[in-house]
Structure 1
């Protein structure tokens, strides 16, 4: 289905300013004939190639359960009946390729199949198919959570209790005046400052802490640390690297940065959604062990996101997340792209 007419009408009035919308995720299941197992309906999106349940937008005045069944019929040519509201959550703010900003209250429904064989019916998807629950294709963490909630043997609806990521309304339709996804209360209780070349050694120390926690061989060797300190000092002075830190007492008893997040730029060939080809990159997110679970790294990342948003023209910021850190980044608005990077290591 194309963009709903009511959204197009609103966009004529507000431009690309943020819209608060109600969305539905439809998890459709059916029993496998002659078996006690079940299958779930998934579609492969045309815009990014990702497999997901059917998702869509609730029309003004439409019952959400009706919207879920309608979207399934429109996108996959399958008839289904909503039987349970499984999850209520606020999705992280997003900016589309054309600059439109939106944030969704998403309602996840479990639906039972009543008829029809799936196929991509409206051009939004490349494929539509049934999958055994033990043979699902790769899914993002967010979509996996929605499936888990819908397929759980529960009566009650799940909901989130942590504060949602919020994108405040922009004034005058200027997309750069809006803020990236963040929990602003974190920034009011954690003092974050921008690092300068004098912090180069501390950033190297925090990098060593991060690499040691990842069991990277050689993380305690001094040669790379000396080179890293010079690297940080030169690039912080030149402004090609930006870092934000929280100060405290380090493990060696000195005062200085105990948490950090670093950002730089990567130049790529231009793309339709990024004509300049320039991308932001977040790395070296690290906290001293004694200062963890206080929101320091989160505050540094949020401040860096704000800097990328307000002070640069980049439209894409990437990072590599460990399993432990992935949930935080997804909450802040980072999402898994289509495709995976493969690395060829050259022995020298």
Structure 2
């Protein structure tokens, strides 16, 4: 049996602006992909606290998590991500060391720009019949 962890847990904050329905997305500095903000959960924080921290660190936007919308597993990397629908409550959009760009996009723009495995988190957050459980290979959903 391996001494290292077999999984890691991350959190995704799907932030929807109520006045126009736009979605907060970042262009990742490391690989250039457009995704909702998020990252690895620290040992001493709850999933909701992680969503708040990651969105703030990556975009400058302060959020309030509303509800869990999905659980997503990257089958190649062993990363399990919990996605939360979040509402913005303050701050201003800005780039960061992890996000070369942070911006608001329409739902259609965000879904077109994001890889399928990340876009589905946005789509699922817009639905009321979740939370959803999905697996992917880093880019595409898997059966």
The question of a shared fold, defined as TM-score above 0.5 by the shorter chain, is answered with yes
Provide TM-score, normalisation by structure 1: 0.37
Q: Unaligned regions of 5+ residues in structure 1, if any?
A: 1-13, 95-102, 165-330, 337-348
Q: Unaligned regions of 5+ residues in structure 2, if any?
A: none
The aligned runs of 1:255-270 (5 Å cut-off) are none
SS of the equivalent of 2:49 reads helix
Tell me what 1:22 maps to: 9
CA gap 1:335/1:144 in 2 versus in 1, 3 angstroms:
closer
Moved over 3 A (4+): 333-336
SS of the equivalent of 1:134 reads helix
Say yes or no: does 1:158 pair with 2:129. no
1: distance between equivalents of 2:54 and 2:42?
A: 11
2: distance between equivalents of 1:130 and 1:45?
A: 14
Choose the corresponding residue for 1:61, options 31, 44, 49: 44
Shift of 1:334: 6.2
Provide TM-score, normalisation by structure 2: 0.85
2: distance between equivalents of 1:334 and 1:105?
A: 11
Tell me what 1:130 maps to: 104
Shift of 1:134: 3.1
CA gap 1:334/1:139 in 2 versus in 1, 3 angstroms:
closer
Higher helix fraction (1 or 2): 1
2: distance between equivalents of 1:106 and 1:116?
A: 24
Instruction: State how many pairs are aligned.
Output: 137
Choose the corresponding residue for 2:124, options 149, 153, 157: 149
1: distance between equivalents of 2:37 and 2:60?
A: 11
CA gap 1:91/1:334 in 2 versus in 1, 3 angstroms:
closer
* 1:255-309 deviation per Cα after TM superposition (whole angstroms, max 9, x unaligned): xxxxxxxxxxxxxxxxxxxxxxxxxxxxxxxxxxxxxxxxxxxxxxxxxxxxxxx
Tell me what 2:88 maps to: 113
SS of the equivalent of 2:17 reads strand
**Higher-Rg member (1/2):** 1
Bigger relative CO (Cα 8 Å, ≥ 6 apart):
2
Please tell me the root mean square deviation across aligned C-alpha atoms, in Å. Answer: 2.0
SS of the equivalent of 2:32 reads coil
Shift of 1:141: 0.8
Higher strand fraction (1 or 2): 2
2: distance between equivalents of 1:145 and 1:159?
A: 11
1: distance between equivalents of 2:21 and 2:106?
A: 6
Shift of 1:140: 0.6
Instruction: State whether residues 116 and 139 of structure 2, in contact with CA within 8 Å, keep that contact through their aligned partners in structure 1.
Output: no
Tell me what 2:69 maps to: 86
Tell me what 1:40 maps to: 23
Shift of 1:49: 0.7
